[in-house]
Structures are given as C-alpha cells and as structure tokens.
Structure 1
Amino acid sequence: QQQHPSMAPPRRSPAAGRPRLVRASPVLKPKVKAQSRSRTPPQTWKADYPLLKGLRARRNAPVDFVGCEKLADPRASKADFEWQCLVAAMLSSLTRDQANAEAMACLRIHGNSAKNIAATPEAKLRKLIIKVGFPKVKAKSLRASAKMCLEQHGGRIPRTIEGLMALPGVGPKMAYLVMTTALNQQPGICVDTHVHRIANMLRWVRTKTPEETRVALESWLPKKEWPDINILLVGVGQMQQQAVQDLVEAGLALGSRRAPAALKLMKRMGVPLRRDRWPMLDAAAAKNPDLGKLLKRC
C-alpha cells in the first residue's frame, strides 16, 4: 500500500545523529577605515620614532644580516650588482630573509647575471631557488625579467618605478626597494607587510593595503626618514615574530625613564608582555614602579 506523502517520515540528512561541527570564529581585527592620504602627522609618531630607534639600536634582526640590501655581490660589475638587487627583491615576497639569502647564495654559485638567468632553463632555476615561497612562479618571472632587461634596457635594469613594475613579478614594494638598493635613489617608501602592520597598529595610518600605507606615510613623514623607515620597522616586526625576548630586552635596556614608554609602545604593537614568560620583566618591575604599574595592566 502506497503511503500518503503527508504521512511519510521526515527525511534525515546523512549527517543526522552525528555531532554537529561548528567552525571556530576567526580572530577579528579592529575595523579600519581606509585613509590612503592623511597629510596630518599622527600625534604620537614623534614620541614613537625615537623609541623604535632605541629598540633597534643593536641591529640584531635578520634584515640587518641577510636582508635584500645585503645579498648582492659588491664585487660584481655595476650591471650585475643592480640585477642581483632586483633578484633579491623579487625572491623576497612571502619568504623569510634567511631563505632568501640561501637562494641568492645558490644563484651566485650558478652565476647571477641577467644574461645567465635568461639562458637557464626554468626547471633548473626552480631548483636553485627552491627554498623561497612559490619557486615555480618566481623562476618564470626571473627568466622573463632577465629577457626584458636584455632586450629592452640594454642588459641593465629599468631606471624608473614604472619601468621596474613593468617587469613580471615586480610590484610597488619591490620597485621602491630596488630603487634604493640598486640605484641609490629614494623616490618613495618601501612598504612590506611588517611596515603596513606596525604603522596601523601604532595608528600612524588607517589603511587596508601596503600601497595605501605607502601613500599615507609619504604624505607626512619627513623625507630624511624615508631611507630608514623600512629597515627600522621590518626589524622590529621580525623581532616581534621571531625573537620577542630580544625585543623585550632591548626595551628594558633603554633605562628606567624610557623603558616604560618602550614597553607601552610594544603593547600597542601587540607584543605579549607576559611576566611568566619573561622573568626579566619581574626584576625590572621591582626596581621601577612605573614599569610595575604598566605590567599589572598587561
């Protein structure tokens, strides 16, 4: 006997009876209204900047030893040196400086000139730079860029931001970096993820992309600071991610008067000031009441 549809038992989904999986909520970031050109300097930057320089006084972040500025061969010809600066910048995207340095060392042994890279099979290039992020894509971009430099620029790298960005795989961050490292020019500020993140955490800018951050910083930061702002903030960002203890020690080393302000700055950047993890904070707090009050709120 055929059952009436209204009397049929309700359908059960294949997952019925199983525990329901609930996707964890993502960590929410504070909403930031994009503001690509501020023109008005933030009130805190003049106090923040000397503290950041103090945190970087030891120059002990990876960028200080194996950053793009350090990877080209100073004994190479001028054309090859410039090319190697370009290569270092192209490989740096989504890659730690240490891995970039290893890849550049392999290319130096292989022969890192535009002519040699253009003549190297893509598969071999990929093996040489295997430790960087997205080696297949970057190997293809390197060969194509080498050919463009040879065919359109007489074997040299382009001399303008627009020319550099016309090369495959080169964006604004790389172009401004190469203008500084290869050509010793400073037409703008090189903004990577560290600079973008820290500038927003400190509320120097309110932007959504590194390019918006570059435009905003250039609108108010004195030009004399442009050459140093990248390596300054990149170093702080690397220490925050890879060597927090060194960053905390650098803050405490600024002395009893400046240490509380330095640690407050780090707190604004999102550095975890955990007394259970960094015993030196307890010792410093015992000697400095202002520091003790600050750490109680952390």
Structure 2
Amino acid sequence: FRNPNPSPQKSLRHPSLSTGFEPDHSAACPIPKQDHLSNPPVPMRNPASEPNPGSESSNGGSASELRVFVRKKRGRKTIETQETKYEAEPLDQKLRGPPEIEEFGYKQVNGSFQSIPTGEPPPNWEKVLEGIRKMRSTEDAPVDTMGCEKAGNSLPPKERRFAVLVSSLLSSQTKDNVTHGAIQRLLQNGLLAADTIDKADEATIKGLIYPVGFYTRKAANMKKIANICLMKYDGDIPSSLEELLLLPGIGPKMAHLVMNVGWNNVQGICVDTHVHRICNRLGWVSKSCTKQKTSTPEETREALQLWLPKEEWVPINPLLVGFGQTVCTPLRPNCGMCSVSDFCPSAFREISRSPSKSKRSSLSKKL
C-alpha cells in the first residue's frame, strides 16, 4: 500500500554542493582557506593556551595547546581538534647565553697545599722535566717576554696586581703577543687602573683591546671588575682565590696565576691549554681511577697536583707554555727535535704526512 500523502524525501547532499553556497563556520572558529585539496591540515593555536613568560608554564611547568585542523574531502569541510601537551623549556635554559670564558667548576684537591705528593708520580718525570728545562734554556718563546706575569712590571705593587689581573682576563684564547699589545695600548692611554677603567667608556676599552679573543665581552667584564675592585677593595684586587673566582670572566687558570704573581701565594698550578695538552701527551695525568686522558685544564690541574711537588707548581707553567709554543705545538709537534721524545708515549704519533705522500696516496685512490 502506498501512503496517500507521501512526505518529501530529505536530500542527503550538503546544500553547498547544489546551490554553490558555502556554509560559514567562522562563528565557531576562524578557519584559514585552503587553496588546494592536497594541502596538509593547518594548525591553529588557541591564544589562551600560549605560554606566558610570567606564567608557571614558562618557568618549567607543563601547558597544553589546542590545535584545530581543517581538512577538505570531496567538497566537504570537516573540523578536527587535537589537544597536545608539551613540557615548557626551563627558564634558565631560555635565558642562558654563550658560556662564560673559562666557565668550568673549581674544586680543591685534598693535599693540594702540601709539598709531599699524595699520588703515584709517573715514571721518569724528573728526567723529562730536566730535559724540557734544557730545551727551554734559551728563553725564546713568546711567554718569556710577553706573558701575563710581565704586565705592569714598572708599576707600583697595587697597580701591578691590577695589571696582571687584566692581562690574565685578556689572555684567554688569545696569543701572548696580542695580549701584550692590548696591555701596552691600555697603559699608554692611562687605562690600566681600576679608577680609570671604571670611568672610561666601554667602546673606548673595546677599541684598545681589539683584536683579543672575545674583546666585546672582555671589555664589559673589565668595567665590572674595575667597579667591584673600587667598591670592595679600594682599587686593589681580591687577595683570596675564592674571591678572585667570583669576578666576571675569571676562571681557575687566571685566579691561580694572579695569586702566584700578585700576592706570592701559591694555592694551585696555573694550567692553560699548553700545560693541559703536554701533560696528556706525556701521560702525566688521567681521569680519576681511569687511564683516560683528562678533558679540561681543571681536570689536569687536579690530577697534576696529586703527585707534583709544590715547589714545581709555579715554574711548571711558563716552562711548559714555552715548550708548547716552540716544540710541542698543538699541530704537528716537532718530535724530531725533542730530546725527551724517548720518554713520551705520544711521540711521532701526531705528525702529519708530507704533502708529496698525501698527493701520491690520493692519486693511487683515483687510479
């Protein structure tokens, strides 16, 4: 039987397909238009869920983010929402800039103030040290005439201490002749004392110390150090290792050097990259309870102080620095002219091949 009054059948097609009318979803959520069906869904962030620098989520807490995806499929638009949780980046990592010069931890080693070694010394170390002294007897290395300890030799004790501190600051990742030139320019312009540096313009200081490494940062640190020395030490420098290490840009190597030269107070070995490299090449140092090489100058200092007699703590720095500048160089060390190469486990292992051999080997590979 047929219904005498049939009701009109509802169309299953969307009105927009027959009339060309496109429904407006903007009242619920603004949707960016897609130019092509194959475009990937566009994430739309909910402004209320964005991390606020002053909120808990921006200080290491968690937050959520609402994303709205728009898809086109066979002429229809569908809206999908997806809630994603994420961990906000800790604030200290966000604000952390490039690492400070010589930024590494400082630790005192048990027995570091004793003249009796507390560790097992390497074999033949005395013969090696004596052989290096003979090779360094001519004193023809840059450190012999332009080292940090030479800064302000003609100045009164108080001014000389400050000059040594500034020279140590500038010496990081900088050759001795460049550091020496910067110190001379500062001295000629009357800017090698705490009061004059404090009054000077930072741009002027930066121009005088250029081209030392990190000269912009070092100029700013010079101003800060000068102000601290004026306010707390009457223009002098701190007389303790701990207070020196609190100064901006001053690391363990610099602090030990300043204590040795400025105050004649030996509290540790001044270990720079030369001392660090040579001690590892000689097999004099290793990480605690291992046979691995030390990774930083500070690790080398700790390991070296465990066995080296204290009377050698001061002279070993200029001795090995000059040796590293002339013989045991960073690249292609001159092992052939080294009189202690027989005692060195690294001898002749870092010498590169001659250019002719390199060319022959490359040609043979091509053939």
The alpha-carbon distance between structure 1 residues 269 and 194, as it changes in their structure 2 partners (threshold 3 A), is farther
Larger Rg: 2
- What are the ranges of 5 or more consecutive residues in structure 2 without an aligned counterpart? 1-108, 111-117, 287-293, 356-367
Higher helix share: 1
- Please report how far the alpha carbon of residue 246 of structure 1 lies from its aligned counterpart in structure 2 after TM superposition: 8.5
Give the counterpart of 1:241 among 320, 329, 344. 329
1:1-298 → structure 2 map (5 Å cutoff): 39-72=119-152, 74-111=153-190, 112-206=192-286, 207-239=294-326, 240-241=328-329, 251=338, 259=339, 262-265=340-343, 268=346
Higher strand share: 2
- Please report how far the alpha carbon of residue 91 of structure 1 lies from its aligned counterpart in structure 2 after TM superposition: 0.3
Give distance in 1, aligned partners of 2:180 and 2:331. Answer: 19
Amino acid at match of 2:165: L
- Please report how far the alpha carbon of residue 263 of structure 1 lies from its aligned counterpart in structure 2 after TM superposition: 3.6
- Please report how far the alpha carbon of residue 162 of structure 1 lies from its aligned counterpart in structure 2 after TM superposition: 0.5
Give distance in 2, aligned partners of 1:271 and 1:236. Answer: 18
The alpha-carbon distance between structure 1 residues 185 and 148, as it changes in their structure 2 partners (threshold 3 A), is same
- Please report how far the alpha carbon of residue 273 of structure 1 lies from its aligned counterpart in structure 2 after TM superposition: 6.7
Amino acid at match of 1:68: C
Number of the residue aligned with 2:74 = none
Contact 1:191 1:214 in 2 (8 A): yes
The alpha-carbon distance between structure 1 residues 123 and 169, as it changes in their structure 2 partners (threshold 3 A), is same
Give distance in 2, aligned partners of 1:113 and 1:244. Answer: 40
RMSD of aligned residue pairs (Cα, Å): 2.5
Contact 1:106 1:128 in 2 (8 A): yes
Deviations 1:14-38 (A, max 9, x none): xxxxxxxxxxxxxxxxxxxxxx998
Contact 1:102 1:131 in 2 (8 A): no
Contact 1:202 1:268 in 2 (8 A): yes
Amino acid at match of 1:235: G
The alpha-carbon distance between structure 1 residues 148 and 216, as it changes in their structure 2 partners (threshold 3 A), is same
Give distance in 2, aligned partners of 1:195 and 1:245. Answer: 14
Q: Does the residue aligned with 2:263 lie in a helix, a strand or coil?
A: coil
Give distance in 1, aligned partners of 2:343 and 2:188. Answer: 43
- Please report how far the alpha carbon of residue 119 of structure 1 lies from its aligned counterpart in structure 2 after TM superposition: 0.8
- Please report how far the alpha carbon of residue 265 of structure 1 lies from its aligned counterpart in structure 2 after TM superposition: 4.7
Give distance in 2, aligned partners of 1:276 and 1:124. Answer: 46
Give distance in 1, aligned partners of 2:227 and 2:336. Answer: 47
Q: Does the residue aligned with 2:220 lie in a helix, a strand or coil?
A: helix
Q: What is the identity percentage for the equivalent residue pairs of Structure 1 and Structure 2? A: 40
- What are the ranges of 5 or more consecutive residues in structure 1 without an aligned counterpart? 1-35, 252-258, 278-298
Q: Does the residue aligned with 1:182 lie in a helix, a strand or coil?
A: helix
Runs of 4+ in 1 over 2 A off after TM superposition: 240-249, 262-277
> How many residues are aligned here?
231
Number of the residue aligned with 1:22 = none
